[in-house]
Amino acid sequence: MFPMTRSTRCLCTLLICVATASSVIAERPNVLVIMTDDLGYSDIGCYGSEIETPNLDRLAKGGLRFSQFYNTAKCHSSRISLLTGQYALQAGNTSLSRGVTTAEVLAGAGYTTSMVGKWHLDKQPTDFGFERYFGHLSGACNYFRGDNTFRFNGQPWRVPDEDFYTTVANVDYALQFLDDSRAASKPWYLYVAFNAPHAPLQPLKQDYEKYAGRYDVGWDKIRDARMAKQSEQGLLGKNIQPSPRPEHIPAWESLSQSRKSWESRRMAAYAGMIDRVDQEIGRLLADLEKNDELNNTFLLFVSDNGACPYDRRHRGVNDPPYQAETSWSDSTGWAWARNAPFRFYKQNQFEGGIATPGIVHWPAGLKTEPGSVNHDPVHLIDVLPTVSELTEAKIPSQWPGRQLEPVSGVSLAPVFKGESIGDRPPIHFLFSTDRGLRDGEWKLGSFRGTAWELYHIATDRAEVNDVAADHPQIVQRMVKQWHEMAEHVLNAPAKSRTAVSGATVKSHPEWTDFDKDPLQRTNPKSSGKKSPRRAANQIRARKQTKLTVSGDELIVQCDGNDSGLAFDRIALPADAPGPYLLKFSLQSRAGGQGEVYFTTDA
C-alpha cells in the first residue's frame, strides 16, 4: 500500500465517475422507429387482419399495443409530428423551421443517427441530424424503378435498372447502417420509413401470388371478419357498434363478376405489399437478435395515416401488378374495409383517417404484461418526448437558424411502467378543412368544414352516434379549445381557422362511383362540371404553389409540401407513340440553395 494523497483521492473519484457515466450510456436503449405509409388500422394481424404479419404479431405478443394511437391523417404532417414532437404547422410545416428532430436530439446525446425510406419534407434528412440516409425525397415512387429523388448520404443515387424493389432496398441499407453504428461503439437511432403500401400497388410476384384469390369474398365479409378478430384481441369493446357501409360504396354482391375480379386482385396486391413489409421487418429483427441488441432496443411501429380512398389513375388493369409498367391505384371499397371498424379515410380527421396501429417492443424496459393493450389516447407528437426521457437526451430550447416552438407531446414512459399518463392537453387535428379535437372521452370532428360532430369515444369508438345536439355546452367548449390551439399552439393561418358551415355533406368528389369501369371513371359531378383535378391537358399549381404571369414568363413560387406544377392527363396523338421530350427552362430568383426534381404517377 501507499499513502493516499489528496491528488490520488481526486483521481480515484474521477475514474469512478467516468466509469459510472460510461455504464449509464451503455445501458441506454437503441431506438428503432418504423413507419408505414397509408396502412389501414386493421391491416396487420395483431390489429385484426387476415394478412400474414408474423413478425409484427410477435412484437405485439412480446410488447405493448395501443388501441388509440393517433396520427395526423396525412403523409407529410405525420412525419413532422413523429420527428419533432410538434403539430406540423407548429414546427414550421415541411421546413421544420420551428422544431428540432429526434435525430438532432439524439446525435447531441452520443447516438449515431440513420434513416432509410420516404422523406417527403424539405431539403434532406442529412440536413436535419441524420448522419446516414438512403431513400427517396418524394411522396411516392415506382417500387421497381424508383425515381430521381433517391439519395444516399446526401448525394443523388441512381436506381439500378434491374433487381430493385424499394421496400427491400430500404432494409438492405438499414442493415448496413446498423453495422456502421456498431463499429462506432455507440447507441444508435434508426428511422425506417417504408413507402408501402402507398400506391402504386406494385407487389413482388411471390407476394402477390400468395394472396391471389383470397379476396374473392369481398370487402363486406373481410371487414366483418377483421372486426370480430379485433374484439377477440381486446382492441375494441365486445359490444362496439361498427360504422355502417357508406352510400358511396356498393355492397360486394351488387358488383359484376368482372368488377369483383378486379377488386379482388387489387386487394391481393395490397396484401402482398404489406406482407413484404413484415418480411423486411423480420430481417431487421433477425439482425438485432444476432447482435444481441433486440432486448434493449426501444422499437416503435406506426403508420402515417389511415387507408387511402383515392381511386385515381390506373395503367395495366388487366396486366400483372408485379412489374414497373403496371400501376394500380387505391380502392375506396377496400379502404373502408381496411380502416375497420371506423369511418372515413386518409386526410379526414375521424378515426378512419387518424387511428394507426401502434406497437412498442422493448423487453429490457417494458414493465407491462407482454401482449397487453393500452387504451390511452396518444399521438405521434408523443414520440420525441418519450424517446428523450428514455435516452436521457435533452430537447434543446434553442437551435441555430431556427425559432423553436415548445414540444406539444407528452412522454409515454409512465405507460411502459404500467401507469397512466394522466390528464393531458387535448389532441388537435387539422388538415385542409378537416378538423378534430380529442379531449378525454370526447371527440369533436368536422368533415371538409361542415357542421361539428361530437362523439363519446369511450362508448362509441367508431363514431356512429353524433351527440352534438344533446351536448351543446361540450361542443361549445371544445370548439373554443380547437380555435385557441389552432391560433396559439399551431400558429395556423386565419384561413384555416374560419367557422364551419352548417352543412352536413358526407361525400367527396374523389370517392368514385364503383359502378363504373375503372378505365372510364371521372369524378362524380357536384356542379355539372368535372373536377379540375382530373381535367385533361391542364397544367395546374399544386399545394403551396403560386403562379403569376409577367410578360412572357410564368413565375412559379413554391413554399411547402408537394409544391410545384402538375400536368394532368396530357393527351398525346395515338399515331405518334413517342418517346416525347419535355423541356423546362428554370431560373431561381431567390437566395440560397434548392432542388428541382420531377415525379410521375408511374
Contact between residue 101 and residue 84 where contact means Cβ atoms under 8 Å apart: yes
pLDDT of residue 586: 66
* Domain assignment of residue 67, yes or no: yes
Task: Determine the residue type at 117.
Answer: G
DSSP state of 320: -
Q: Is the pLDDT of residue 98 over 80?
A: yes
* Domain assignment of residue 12, yes or no: no
* Domain assignment of residue 6, yes or no: no
Q: Are 555 and 486 within one domain?
A: no
Residues in the chain, overall count: 602
Question: In the listed set 424, 444, 467, which residue is the last one of a domain according to the structure?
Answer: 424
Q: Are 179 and 37 within one domain?
A: yes
Q: Are 433 and 420 within one domain?
A: no
Entry pTM: 0.85
Q: Are 479 and 398 within one domain?
A: no
H-type alpha helices, 94-165: 102-107
Question: In the listed set 496, 511, 526, which residue is the last one of a domain according to the structure?
Answer: 496
Pairwise CA distance, residues 601 & 392, whole Å: 43
pLDDT of residue 506: 60
Pairwise CA distance, residues 547 & 564, whole Å: 9
Lowest mean pLDDT among 41-45, 283-287, 416-420: 416-420
* Domain assignment of residue 15, yes or no: no
pLDDT of residue 422: 85
Q: Are 324 and 257 within one domain?
A: yes
Cβ-in-10-Å burial (0-12, 13-18, 19+) of 534 comes to middle
Pairwise CA distance, residues 35 & 76, whole Å: 12
Residue 434: how many CA atoms within 13 Å on its side-chain side? 20
pLDDT of residue 9: 39
* Domain assignment of residue 9, yes or no: no
Q: Among all chains, which residue has been given the C-alpha cell 399515331?
A: 575
Lowest mean pLDDT among 62-66, 304-308, 317-321: 317-321
Pairwise CA distance, residues 57 & 41, whole Å: 14
Q: Is the pLDDT of residue 132 over 60?
A: yes
* Domain assignment of residue 53, yes or no: yes
Q: Are 170 and 285 within one domain?
A: yes
How many independent structural domains does the chain possess? Answer: 3
Coil, strand, or helix at residue 178? helix
Contacts of 489 (CB under 8 A, 6+ apart): 87, 90, 408, 428
Q: Is the dihedral of CA 548, 550, 555, 559 positive or negative?
A: negative
Q: What does the pLDDT average to over 464-483?
A: 97
Give pLDDT tens digits for 511-544.
Answer: 655 545 555 554 444 334 443 444 444 566 665 5
Q: Are 446 and 312 within one domain?
A: no
Q: Is the pLDDT of residue 555 over 90?
A: no
Contacts of 113 (CB under 8 A, 6+ apart): 103, 106, 107, 129, 130, 131, 132, 188, 189
Q: Are 214 and 359 within one domain?
A: yes
Coil, strand, or helix at residue 85? coil
Pairwise CA distance, residues 19 & 445, whole Å: 54
Q: Are 398 and 442 within one domain?
A: no
Give pLDDT tens digits for 317-357.
Answer: 999 999 999 999 999 999 999 999 999 999 999 999 999 99
Q: Are 181 and 247 within one domain?
A: yes
CATH number at residue 403: 3.40.720.10
Structural domain including 557 reads 535-602
Q: How far is CA 246 from the centre of its chain?
A: 24
Q: Are 112 and 223 within one domain?
A: yes
Q: Which residue has the higher pLDDT, 237 or 257?
A: 257
Question: In the listed set 424, 451, 480, which residue is the last one of a domain according to the structure?
Answer: 424
* Domain assignment of residue 335, yes or no: yes
* Domain assignment of residue 45, yes or no: yes
CATH number at residue 464: 3.30.1120.10
Q: Among all chains, which residue has been given the C-alpha cell 418504423?
A: 34
pLDDT of residue 529: 41
